[in-house]
Structure 1
């Protein structure tokens, strides 16, 4: 090492060290380290990501709110005629045009089918219950949604393959009066021993997933619309929960998932929070998981959220206070060439203050935007 390199290394280390000694969070130390490296000629990946959001409703007022706080790309839903299980091309186009009026890009569409709901509350559960003729009608509707999005110029649809919805065991107080959902597998008590789906083994769950992909991936390929699946939130113990084995609640399960009907149009709505919840040591492991799926171009969207804890025991968190180094994570997405949205998800709420969710979203937009700007100018 020559003298110039030696001094550059000292400078980078000093910048990071001063951030830590000043009592700043871990991501600030990472930012200082990478800023120093960038100024001394270190190679920096180009930042291609966009600030996004998926919050509802699809109205002029809400779209103006998103644009006000720097959001540029969105996932949104449209109106549907009663009795129809998909939005037409004209209905999707109407949402796209409303978004464009506020200088927002409609990058992902929410279908009516396959939400993140519990099967006992789901009105259209044929695909996940493997019940005929309901699932044949529903998969045809999903195929029609792909065609409608293609005709309306929207390149992606996101969906869930869930029977249990989002599981939490309660709420915890965070800073101030914020409340965060938490999960403790050891104390979790299901409301009933089984859901209306009955026992669902791993093999049965994979059969339902494979059946769905066999029917929709060819249509996605034909119309060049990406379909992005959300991981199961959270993973459950090996023996299952309410009789159900959550096969998309582990990284290994997600790796298997992307190999079924392999396609450039079949990938993940990569919820960073959910994936972190399914790792024993997310603060160490999340980066290589991003590299695995990102290098294979299987990350179509990112729910950019933080947690405290890991598999089996965690709570949600503001993006700046969890265990994950969010600046380092952002640089990892840049490293793999990810060019989609980073969007907040599961923001905290305050009981009795319905406007607090919008405040939490605004805080998250500012935090993500700040991280992106820091990475761009380092």
Structure 2
């Protein structure tokens, strides 16, 4: 397991590279060019600026999250070919900079979705929270307004330049079904995977967050059967999954450990985090500790250890603790604690395995 840490760039993150280097066992950053709109080709000079900063801190940039997909590709519009060509050129440039994994998603309009960015918990910390009944009844335009008013930093999946066209996007998706989305994803994969294979970059799709349709928009990467279908659409070791335990864990019916064991050879990158799911469908993001949430994090790490997982892993959304003022879900303190919990589990399983294989003295 190779530990990495998501970083949003100088001036767009409260966490510094120097702080990341002080988290034991953390060797790289997970990054993106958040100021480049979806669909545009990434400039080489900007890519190299991130690499230079990371190199200076002793960190690698092998994992990108995300190279966002333009909505015209998801909609299957004639203009998609132009954006796919830009995507191919970006893959080529990222390969030159040493990138090995690109995380992306195929969610229409919105990426992740929550109703409260700073829900107070019983211990006084705050966390990202999803209130199901509110989503079922809220105007998405009002939700966008509230999200943008409650964060001073740009938030992936909620970029103002994309959301200013919200009305047009909802109209464009009118009548688009899951099968339409599957077909458009197939077109994208057929174009992209050969390029990714040529440049030795694994394309690792992120599950939908939460893993069910919202606001009448279809979603397709929601569980084990759908992930299997997606991976079978292009039987290449470069068509992969970013297995996110928190996104998939929002649906208690998802057997995450079974997914890890089935898709092990197609998981180059994993997000390990916990959520607590309530009977009414609400969920809140907790510490990474197994007992604090609904996801069996200890079992997840054990499955990865048993399988000899050598891909990239990162803690995902953390709580906001100890008065930290930070990007929602992406502070330093709780994610650093998460890393140490994950390493603690990993080290314990490694020691146990070593003890089991030792030859008893004669």
Larger deviation: 135-144 or 320-329? 320-329
- Pairwise CA distance, 1:86: 2.7
Q: Which has the larger radius of gyration?
A: 1
**Match 2:65 to one of 78, 99, 110:** 110
**Mapping for residues 156-305 of structure 1, pairs under 5 Å:** 156-163=101-108, 164-170=110-116, 172-187=119-134, 188-192=136-140, 195-196=170-171, 197-236=173-212, 240-280=213-253, 285-294=255-264, 297-305=265-273
The 3 A distance-change label for structure 1 pair 245 and 57 is same
Q: Which residue of 2 aligns with 1:74?
A: 29
Structure 2 CA distance for partners of 1:351 and 1:359, relative to 1, 3 Å: closer
Equivalent residues in 2 for 1:1-378, closer than 5 Å = 49-57=1-9, 62-70=16-24, 71-78=26-33, 85-114=40-69, 124-133=70-79, 135-163=80-108, 164-170=110-116, 172-187=119-134, 188-192=136-140, 195-196=170-171, 197-236=173-212, 240-280=213-253, 285-294=255-264, 297-309=265-277, 312-320=281-289, 321-349=292-320, 353-355=324-326, 357-378=331-352
Q: TM-score, normalised by structure 2?
A: 0.77
Counterpart position of 2:150: none
CA-to-aligned-CA distance 1:307-329 (integer Å, 9 cap, x gap): 11279442211101212332221
Alpha-carbon deviation of 1:287? 1.4
C-alpha separation between the residues in 2 aligned to 1:324 and 1:82?
A: 34
Which deviations, in whole Å up to 9, do the C-alpha atoms of 1:132-167 show, x marking residues without a partner?
32x222111111111112222211211111113212
Instruction: Flag as ranges the 4+ runs of structure 1 deviating above 4 A.
Output: 58-61, 78-84, 350-353
- Cα distance in 1, alignment partners of residues 133 and 34 from structure 2: 41
Unaligned runs of 5+ in 1: 1-48, 115-123
Instruction: Single out whichever of 56-65 and 124-133 deviates more from structure 2.
Output: 56-65
Paired residues of 1:273 and 1:306 also in contact (CA < 8 A): yes
- Contact 2:67–2:102 (CA under 8 A) maintained in structure 1: no
Q: What is the alpha-carbon distance in structure 2 between the residues aligned to residue 367 and residue 85 of structure 1? A: 38
> Aligned partners of 1:323, 1:79: CA distance in 2, in Å?
32
2:140 and 2:54 map into 1 onto residues whose CA distance is 42
Closer, same or farther: CA 222–310 of 1 in aligned 2, 3 Å: farther
Q: Shift of residue 300 of structure 1?
A: 1.5
Instruction: Provide the rounded CA distance (Å) in 2 between the counterparts of 1:130 and 1:278.
Output: 29
Taking structure 1 as reference, are residues 172 and 91 closer, same or farther at Cα in structure 2, changes over 3 Å only? closer
**Distance in 1, Cα, partners of 2:39 & 2:229:** 33
Per-residue CA deviation, residues 99-143 of structure 1 (Å, 9 max, x unaligned), is 2322212221235533xxxxxxxxx4222232332x222111111
Q: Are the counterparts in 2 of residues 305 and 345 from structure 1 also a CA contact under 8 Å?
A: yes
Residues 301, 342 of structure 2: 8 Å contact kept? no
Supply the distance in 2 between the matched residues of 1:65 and 1:367 (Cα, whole angstroms).
18
